[in-house]
Amino acid sequence: MRSYIVKRLVFLVVTLWGILTLTFFISRVIPGDPARLAAGIRAKPEQVKQLQKELGLDRPLIEQYGRYITNVVRGNLGKSIRTRRPVSVDLIEYFPATVELTVFAMILCLVVGIPLGIASAVWQGSFVDHVSRLVSTSAVSMPPFWLGLLLQLIFFRWLKLLPAMGRLSIYLSPPPHITGLYVLDSLLTGNWTTLGDSLVHLVLPGIALAAGSMAVISRMTRSSFLEVLSSDYIRTARSKGLPERVILLRHAFRNALLPIITSIGLQFGVLLAGAVPIEVVFTWPGIGLYAVQSILFSDFPAILGVTFVVAIVYSVLNLIVDLLYTVIDPRIRY
Amino acid sequence: MRYVMIIGLALIILLSFPTIASTPPDTLVIGVIEEPETLDPAIDYTFGTLPIFRACYERLVNYNSHTRKVEPELAIGWEVSRDHKVYTFHLRPGVRFHDGAVFNANAVKTAYERVMTINQGPAWMLTSYVESIEVVDEMTVRFTLKSPFVPFIRMLTSYWAMCIPSPKAIAEHADDLGKAFFRDHVVGTGPYKLTSWVRGRQIILEKFEEYWRGWPGKHVKRIIIRKVLDTTTMALLLEQGELDIAYGIPVDEAVYLKDKPGINVFVYSTFTTNMIAMNTTRPPLNDVRVRRALSYSFPYEEAMKVFAGYVKPLIGQIPPGMPGYDEMLPHYVFDLDVAKKLLAEAGYPNGGFTFEYTWVTEEPEGRRVGVLWQEQLRKLGINLKITEVTVAGHWERISDPTTTPDLANYRWGIDYPDPSSILLPLYHGDAAPPAGYNISRLSNPRVNELLDELVKEEDERRTQLLLSEIQTLLLADASNIWISPVPVAICLRTNVHGFVFEPAYFSSFNVYDIYKE
């Protein structure tokens, strides 16, 4: 087990190096000289040159690459050309917002998706199953940004129940920065007003982001359960006269969980990527928003920083999912 | 049942939080799309900072778009030498910065020399013209220019580079010229001071009690500049009373807010113009007849639909409302027959070429204008290939004549309210990119001569004559298709009073005079 984890971690480093290298060279293909943008529209060529020198953009590409990788190893992601701050400072500010939204969306996916999937497997072909299928198909086929706008229209404009944008009402100050996750920081500092307010702000973007993945997880749960429910040991359990609840939760659930866990791991990645349009619609100051602005500005260090962080999160999540297999199914050993 | 009760209870708790409330009467909430990248007036060169600059900083002089005159701000008077090379300013006594520092001649010198030393973004306005800045006495400062430049006084009204930060703050952060400090802090003499900036969320400004104008009459205590990324969301927030002013809703979307109760929508023409530059460095666009043919093929009136009909096609290069605008200039109208004739004269009776037309992502009208034009050009046998470019991509391409597209749609926003801020960088022969923004790279010696004369001319009538001649020559050269001024929609709640639009710096607000009732 330990050697497996070590092996995976080595792979992780290699993967990250590959991703950084690829992104480094691809981002240089994007047309546009960031020094020119940063210097301003009327900047004289010598001003642009001066700034290129300051940003190290006047060096040969391979030297820039070498310097960048060395800096990353030392934990320095460089300075953003657009915001003129260290990329790590920007990421610390923007990333928690995305994490909070994604985690909230994932909780929604699990809490709604799995029970819905189980219900439609157990009552296959029934009214519940049809409704669940209808909801899933609609959720998968609706673009998240459109669903976001629809939710704003209904819950903000018509019903006046939920806020349409941001992480917190403007008259409230954010809780003291501990993790950057407003919900968690409010809980830790016992600030109940910001806790309620930040939860309320999560509802609409959370639903809009979660809908698609929720549907996928619910369908995956359904098919996995159907397969398990028709197996011999379930029939044996039934013939032994075990109550249906015990059969479902103790016998079927654990065996059906493996493909569901895989799909949850993948959906985390989908949610991270899907957060970009949702962050725009709900003005959610997350990493997606930061990435879009950086790309438009050809802000190389920022683009690389975002890619790096997302890659780490995605790889680590995959590792966790793989390790979870052994917990759920003792037959699996690494 | 137990679960239903728990969920029900949770929902009740969740929904009992006051989530939607209208803004307090002493607070003005402004929704904006563009967030500043840096708050340093020596570096920033975007429209996103103007609401903050105008509220927190001041300049020596202010341009009043309505009287079209330059008026005192931190200067109370000035003298200009006969050769327009020496400008002497007498400063307002009793003015203090937000950090308590005293405003004097040294503050002006320190601020502007800092801009020139940093030498980024807007610094060219000072470095290109100013030879030296001299402290004559405590309250008198003198600028000596490299050569006579009449528009200098109007240039000083710019918010970029010309805002004066506290000399004390500059001295306290002298190690990096204050670049790191002024990126996130504002220390000016203006009516409001910055109290917090949460990136991606909001900027909060509070009333500066010791402001030199004092606080008689009605004002707001606090201003919240709230970032809203999506224009549909912005409209919803305004409707619900969560914003007092919405800035950034496109004109064609703002139209739908007009009939909503509690909302006033104003659409204004700005001094920013939309144009299409023709690359005159290669055939067939090096032939003036082809360029004129293209100028006649452009559907001017139809293109105004893109701006919901709120503006009229440009006549000449100067937008209406600015000195030098001349309605009597001969100009192009949509006429395919004339276009066809001109093409035949140039040896292309059936067209037969493909042009690449680029538009910039952040300026979406460019795409719609391109599509309308494409349809007309097809009738002349000309194919228009429409390409989207980012700002960075656009700049890179136009900086080299070989990569400059045949036709490039672009916007030009002025740096200071004077025709020279349009004509010099866009049409002078010396202004080919990257030095300037003459994308077509056409250099007409007579135009260059007249432009050099223009910046030395102080007589109003003669200036007007010069401007008419320059514009007529430029129209004859047809280096660009001049489409229209870009309109903006400012949407206000009906309880917001005192707002006055500023076409030169249209993303700024006269917050000191705005109040709610």
Question: Predicted ipTM?
Answer: 0.70
CB pair distance less than 8 Å for A37 and B224: no
The A residues from 23 to 82 touching B (CB cutoff 8 Å) are 30-34, 36-45, 47-48, 50-51, 82
Amino acid at A304: L
CB pair distance less than 8 Å for B124 and A152: no
Chain A positions touching B237 (Cβ under 8 A) are 164-165
Quick one: pLDDT band at residue A155, thresholds 50, 70, 90?
A: very high
Q: Does B122 touch chain A (CB under 8 A)?
A: yes
B205 beta partners = B194, B223
Burial of A285 (0-12, 13-18, 19+ CB in 10 A): buried
Q: Which of A115-119, B7-11, B74-78 has the lowest mean pLDDT?
A: B7-11
Query: How many helical (H) and strand (E) elements, i.e. helices and strands, does chain A have?
Result: 15, 0
**From CA B449, how far away is CA B455, in angstroms rounded?**
11
CA distances from A100 to A286, B418, B440 (A): 9, 49, 49
**From CA B297, how far away is CA B293, in angstroms rounded?**
6
- The predicted model gives A117-130 an average pLDDT of 89
**From CA A70, how far away is CA A63, in angstroms rounded?**
11
Give me the residue from A32, A169, A297 closest to B19, CB to CB: A169
Q: Does A133 touch chain B (CB under 8 A)?
A: no
**From CA B495, how far away is CA A2, in angstroms rounded?**
67
CB pair distance less than 8 Å for A297 and B392: yes
CB B106 within 8 A of CB B54: no
Give me the residue from B226, B240, B436 closest to A157, CB to CB: B240
**From CA B141, how far away is CA B105, in angstroms rounded?**
5
pLDDT tens, position by position, B272-326: 999 999 999 999 999 999 999 999 999 999 999 988 888 999 999 999 988 889 9
pLDDT of residue A41: 66
CB pair distance less than 8 Å for B183 and A42: no
Residue B190 confidence (pLDDT) above 70: yes
**From CA B236, how far away is CA B221, in angstroms rounded?**
25
Q: Compute the mean pLDDT over every residue in chain B, rounded to the nearest whole number.
A: 92
Give me the residue from B228, B392, B435 closest to A44, CB to CB: B435
**From CA A216, how far away is CA A148, in angstroms rounded?**
18
- The predicted model gives B54-62 an average pLDDT of 97
CB pair distance less than 8 Å for B228 and A97: no
pLDDT tens, position by position, B144-177: 999 999 999 999 999 999 999 999 999 999 999 9
Residue B3 confidence (pLDDT) above 70: no
Residue B57 confidence (pLDDT) above 50: yes
pLDDT of residue B18: 45
Chain A positions touching B20 (Cβ under 8 A) are 156, 160, 163
pLDDT of residue B298: 97
* Report for A287-301, A319-333, B16-30, B31-45: range of highest mean pLDDT: B31-45
**From CA B320, how far away is CA B269, in angstroms rounded?**
8
* Secondary structure of residue B20 in the 3-state scheme: coil
pLDDT of residue B4: 52
CB B39 within 8 A of CB B194: yes
Give me the residue from A37, A279, A280 closest to B391, CB to CB: A37
Residue A296 confidence (pLDDT) above 60: yes
Judging by DSSP bridges, how do beta strands B263-278 and B480-493 pair with one another? antiparallel
Q: Compute the mean pLDDT over every residue in chain A, rounded to the nearest whole number.
A: 87
Give me the residue from B201, B233, B392 closest to A281, CB to CB: B233
pLDDT of residue B7: 56
Element (H, E) at A151: helix A144-151
A176 or B76: which leads in pLDDT = B76
What percentage of chain B reaches a pLDDT higher than 90? Answer: 77
From the list A95, A97, A88, A93, the residue with the least C-alpha distance to A305 is: A88
pLDDT of residue B19: 46
pLDDT tens, position by position, B76-124: 999 999 999 999 999 999 999 999 999 999 999 999 999 999 988 899 8
CB pair distance less than 8 Å for B201 and A285: yes
Q: Which of A75-84, B130-139, B235-244, B269-278 has the lowest mean pLDDT?
A: A75-84
The B residues from 454 to 493 touching A (CB cutoff 8 Å) are none
